[in-house]
Amino acid sequence: MLTCRTERELVDAIEESVCNKLRPTEHEFIMSFGGFEAFEATKQAIVKVVNALKKDEATTIGVYGMGGVGKTTMVKYVGAQAQKCRLFNQVIMAVVSQNPDLMKIQETFAELLGLKLEEKTDIGRASKLKEKILKGTGILIILDDIWKSIDFSSIGIPSHNELQRCNSKVLLTTRKLSVCHSMDCHANIHLNILSEEDSWSLFVKEARKYPLDKSSTFYDVARKVAGECAGLPVALIAVARGLRDKCLDGWKEAARRLQASQPPNPEDEGDVFKCIKLSYDYLKSDDSKSCFSLCCLFPEDYDIPIEYLLMYRIGKGMFQDSNMLEARDTTYSVVKDLKDSSLLLDGRDDGCVRMHDVIRDMAILMMSLSEEGQRFLVKIGCELKNWPKIDAHKGYSAISLMKNKICKLPEELVCPNLQILLLQHNASLNEIPKSFFQSQNELRVLDLSYTRISLLPQSISFLTNLQALYLDYCRNIIDISVIGKLHKLEILSMRECALEELSREIGQLTNLRMLDVSAKNCTWNVDFWTGGVKLMEKEKKLILALMN
Ligand SMILES: Nc1ncnc2c1ncn2[C@@H]1O[C@H](COP(=O)(O)OP(=O)(O)OP(=O)(O)O)[C@@H](O)[C@H]1O
Ligand SMILES: [Mg+2]
């Protein structure tokens, strides 16, 4: 029975009573959810998170725990349940990652809130976003994977008092407790590693080796292997899947290797490293390994188009004797193998894959330590303004410097083993020095898309092995005639280049398999012929020739 003196009090009391009825019990909260498993450690953390979310005075709640322990999985689950149980009216989530892209975060939130952000500046977008959040009520804002303190107001997240007023809260995840502190979290919740028994049941489920009880000859070795995964789901799944079709000796060998393994950075996720490395080593083919390593050349939390993997693989010269269809089939089946091994995840969009951030870190580390001539150098989205010092003796075979602010390249690229060079999305780059490509190298794939270059230097003709050249969205480019000398070129991609005429020299590229010159407002001469191949026009918008 409600006893209230004023109407206001009555309304408040009714609201409170309804809310209490709607608020879920812990049991209701932790129900099954596709793919999600309520491990003991996860349940304990969820109860703490839900309690913190119910407290009015707490507006920022931090979840921390080791890489691959299940933070993202848990907060996604909490978000879905919080909405289902009407603890919040709306849940929005964005990934911050090691190199935060403010605009991407803002756009993700805006899209989820049904808001169109047309403002050009970060501040403009932040203020629009904030306005929208303040107009709503009961929004749970999830910021996943924070590495260093980030200013909420720069994104457009309201202040503590404002969040309180609109019953909204922030739930963030990070690997480090110090980040929770620097973000002034009102509750810091640790997600622990899995208990021995939870680790074991996850391992058994993923290894699909039934029965894996004490009667099985695999039991003792399997227990050892599972124990080496240090209670981390990401490692347990990768190792169990890697061993699925191995015989007893294979399992024994794995246990030996895991026990003996000296990870390069023991205090830094050493256990995950050795587990991912084992799962990589156990991949069925070198083809799968090479495709896996290509994925770490893309940014973190990125939807990697499988078609790009296909093109880079063709560029590396992997399909000399196959046609496009065969190359595509092989690539898709390798990707499936990698997904089955849990080394790759489904992408958000169809036709894309993703790499878990722990696995990507390990892949980058692994490729930076691999033998001379096979090493990778990956520095993506870290605001690099200058070309990094590249020790020619390190023998890099791939360099990815995508999404930086590099404006000047060295006079000469001295990197004799280099096969892949990815420089796309360096919008400040407007010139390539004349002799840049003069030194002897093995370059096969070169991506200069989304740069401001206007010319390709004459020295590009030294790239006699070049098989794939990407110049997409190079809107300043005026002359590409020099490419006529790249006789081995198989892929030439020039989407949305503002060239007035397609260079006749393309006709000399007799090995071309794929030419993409699609553009929205194209003015190409449609009767243009190249070495026996006619470029086709589709609705005057797309000219795309697919050969072979
Ligand atoms: N509760 C769970 N139920 C089922 N699978 C899980 C669970 N927690 C984690 N996993 C598995 O472990 C993998 C790693 O989990 P997740 O991505 O959540 O880790 P994380 O702590 O966010 O890692 P990082 O610090 O790298 O962001 C997931 O891809 C999933 O396969
Ligand atoms: Mg995560």
Q: Could you give the percent of the chain with pLDDT greater than 90?
A: 66
pLDDT at 489: 92
CA 242/CA 503 separation, integer angstroms: 49
- The answer to whether residue 308 is domain-embedded is yes
CA 233/CA 73 separation, integer angstroms: 11
Select, from the ranges 183-192, 209-218, 280-289, 392-401, the one with the highest average predicted confidence (pLDDT). Answer: 183-192
- The answer to whether residue 442 is domain-embedded is no
CA 45/CA 33 separation, integer angstroms: 17
pLDDT at 34: 64
User: Does residue 536 register a pLDDT over 50?
Assistant: no
Residues 125, 50: one domain? Answer: yes
**C-alpha 403 – ligand 1 centre gap (Å):** 27
Return the ligand 1 atom nearest residue 35 CA: 4
Higher pLDDT, 269 or 451: 451
Phi and psi for 345 in degrees, rounded to 5?
-115, 165
Q: Read off the CATH number of the domain in which 247 is found.
A: 1.10.8.430
User: Does residue 372 register a pLDDT over 50?
Assistant: yes
**C-alpha 237 – ligand 1 centre gap (Å):** 10
**Ligand nearest to the backbone CA of 174:** 1
- Report pLDDT digits (tens) over 227-269: 999 899 999 999 999 999 899 999 999 999 888 876 656 456 6
Quick one: pLDDT band at residue 61, thresholds 50, 70, 90?
very high
The response to whether residue 42 sits with its C-beta less than 6 Å from ligand 1 reads: yes
Higher pLDDT, 94 or 9: 94
pLDDT at 546: 42
E-assigned strand segments in 153-306: 169-174, 187-190, 304-305
Please state, rounded to an integer, the average pLDDT across all residues of the chain: 87
- The answer to whether residue 393 is domain-embedded is no
- The answer to whether residue 148 is domain-embedded is yes
pLDDT at 172: 98
- The answer to whether residue 451 is domain-embedded is no
Quick one: pLDDT band at residue 409, thresholds 50, 70, 90?
very high
SS3 348: coil
- Report pLDDT digits (tens) over 454-494: 999 999 999 999 999 999 999 999 888 899 899 999 999 99
- Report pLDDT digits (tens) over 329-345: 999 999 999 998 889 99
- Per the structure block, which two tokens stand in for 38? 């309520």
pLDDT at 527: 43
pLDDT at 273: 86
Residues 20, 54: one domain? Answer: yes
User: Does residue 533 register a pLDDT over 50?
Assistant: no
Phi and psi for 469 in degrees, rounded to 5?
-130, 125
pLDDT at 260: 81
| Number of separate domains in the chain | 4
CA 265/CA 271 separation, integer angstroms: 10
**Among 455, 431, 446, 433, which Cα is nearest to 486's?**
446
CB 436 within 8 A of CB 411: yes
**C-alpha 427 – ligand 1 centre gap (Å):** 35
Q: Could you give the percent of the chain with pLDDT greater than 70?
A: 87
- Report pLDDT digits (tens) over 126-159: 999 999 999 999 999 999 999 999 999 999 999 9
Phi and psi for 127 in degrees, rounded to 5?
-70, -35
Domain boundary among 173, 190, 207: 190
User: Does residue 521 register a pLDDT over 70?
Assistant: no
**C-alpha 186 – ligand 2 centre gap (Å):** 21
The stretch 416-441 carries a mean pLDDT of 94
- Per the structure block, which two tokens stand in for 47? 């109860």
- The answer to whether residue 422 is domain-embedded is no
By most ligand atoms within 8 Å of CB, the mutation choice from 72, 276, 346 for ligand 1 is: 72
The response to whether residue 147 sits with its C-beta less than 6 Å from ligand 1 reads: no
**C-alpha 436 – ligand 1 centre gap (Å):** 43
Q: Which positions ≥6 away from 324 have C-beta within 8 Å?
A: 513, 514, 546, 547, 548
The response to whether residue 142 sits with its C-beta less than 6 Å from ligand 1 reads: no
The stretch 256-284 carries a mean pLDDT of 78
The response to whether residue 154 sits with its C-beta less than 6 Å from ligand 1 reads: no
Residues 40, 166: one domain? Answer: yes
pLDDT at 275: 87
- The answer to whether residue 364 is domain-embedded is no
The response to whether residue 71 sits with its C-beta less than 6 Å from ligand 1 reads: yes
Q: Which positions ≥6 away from 106 have C-beta within 8 Å?
A: 117, 122, 125, 126, 129, 155, 156
Residues 348, 491: one domain? Answer: no
**C-alpha 145 – ligand 2 centre gap (Å):** 5
pLDDT at 73: 96
**Ligand nearest to the backbone CA of 361:** 1
Residues 179, 64: one domain? Answer: yes
Domain that holds residue 201: 193-282
The response to whether residue 73 sits with its C-beta less than 6 Å from ligand 1 reads: yes
**C-alpha 343 – ligand 1 centre gap (Å):** 13
Residues 46, 143: one domain? Answer: yes
- The answer to whether residue 174 is domain-embedded is yes
Residues 13, 159: one domain? Answer: yes
Quick one: pLDDT band at residue 541, thresholds 50, 70, 90?
very low
Burial of 288 (0-12, 13-18, 19+ CB in 10 A): buried
Return the ligand 1 atom nearest residue 37 CA: 3
Domain boundary among 241, 263, 282: 282
User: Does residue 538 register a pLDDT over 90?
Assistant: no
Q: Which positions ≥6 away from 455 have C-beta within 8 Å?
A: 431, 432, 477, 478, 479
Quick one: pLDDT band at residue 322, thresholds 50, 70, 90?
confident
**Among 186, 110, 191, 185, which Cα is nearest to 149's?**
185
Higher pLDDT, 266 or 97: 97
Residues 12, 127: one domain? Answer: yes
CA 43/CA 489 separation, integer angstroms: 55
- Report pLDDT digits (tens) over 288-306: 999 999 999 999 989 999 9
Domain boundary among 282, 314, 347: 282
Residues 328, 220: one domain? Answer: no
Q: Is cis: bond before 457, omega within 30 of 0?
A: no
pLDDT at 12: 62
The response to whether residue 231 sits with its C-beta less than 6 Å from ligand 1 reads: no
Residues 527, 545: one domain? Answer: yes
The stretch 272-286 carries a mean pLDDT of 88
Residues 54, 136: one domain? Answer: yes
Q: Read off the CATH number of the domain in which 90 is found.
A: 3.40.50.300
Residues 43, 171: one domain? Answer: yes
pLDDT at 547: 42
